[in-house]
């Protein structure tokens, strides 16, 4: 089977290097794109969303929360450079729910600068995404 390699990186750590994949679903600012083998070379801006790496042959599928950044497709190598990212099994639903409540409280009770408004709005988006991913992971683990 034809496959490619994926790196998932943040400024603070490497989440995965040379992850074999048959396909990749990437959240971009223009919508989700599906990357398959032999995809044209691109550089795309990432949006907040779920990055799904469909494993090659016997490799497992892997899912990550992604918050902004860049996706670079060059031949058989895809690099995801995200400002903030966590793999599905690392996400704590409780922590995400606390972050959501905190950010929502800031938006509801404070007079914010435009930059602060964007900051807390992004925190809310990220918390919702992390809660969704944590619930999906818990449901998948309960089936096994």
Q: What is the DSSP letter of 4?
A: E
Give the residue from 110, 107, 109, 139 showing the smallest Cα distance to 125.
107
Q: What is the pTM of this model?
A: 0.85
Average pLDDT of the chain, as a whole number: 91
Residue 12 banded pLDDT, cuts 50, 70, 90: very high
pLDDT for 144 equals: 57
In the chain, domain spans: 4-88, 91-143
Token pair listed for 44? 């795309």
Contacts of residues 25-32 at CB distance under 8 Å and 24 or more positions apart, as own/partner, are: 25/50, 25/51, 25/52, 25/54, 26/51, 26/66, 26/71, 26/80, 27/51, 27/66, 28/71
Tens of pLDDT, residue by residue over 30-63, are 999 999 988 889 999 999 999 999 987 788 899 9
First to last CA, the chain: 28
**Contact between 15 and 9 (Cβ < 8 Å):** yes
4-88 belongs to CATH 2.60.120.10? no
pLDDT for 125 equals: 92
């Amino acid at each position: 089977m034809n496959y490619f390699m994926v790196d998932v990186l943040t400024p603070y750590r490497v989440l995965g290097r040379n992850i074999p994949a048959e396909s990749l679903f990437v959240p971009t600012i223009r919508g989700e794109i599906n990357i398959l083998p032999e995809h044209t070379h691109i550089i795309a801006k990432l949006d907040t969303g779920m990055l799904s790496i469909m494993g090659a042959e016997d490799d497992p599928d892997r899912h990550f929360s992604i918050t902004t950044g860049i996706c670079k497709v060059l031949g058989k190598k895809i690099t995801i450079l995200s400002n903030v990212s966590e793999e599905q099994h690392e996400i704590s639903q409780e922590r995400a729910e606390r972050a959501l409540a905190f950010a929502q409280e800031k938006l509801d009770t404070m007079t914010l600068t435009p930059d602060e408004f964007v900051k807390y709005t992004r925190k809310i988006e990220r918390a919702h995404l992390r809660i969704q991913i944590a619930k999906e992971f818990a449901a998948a683990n309960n089936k096994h």
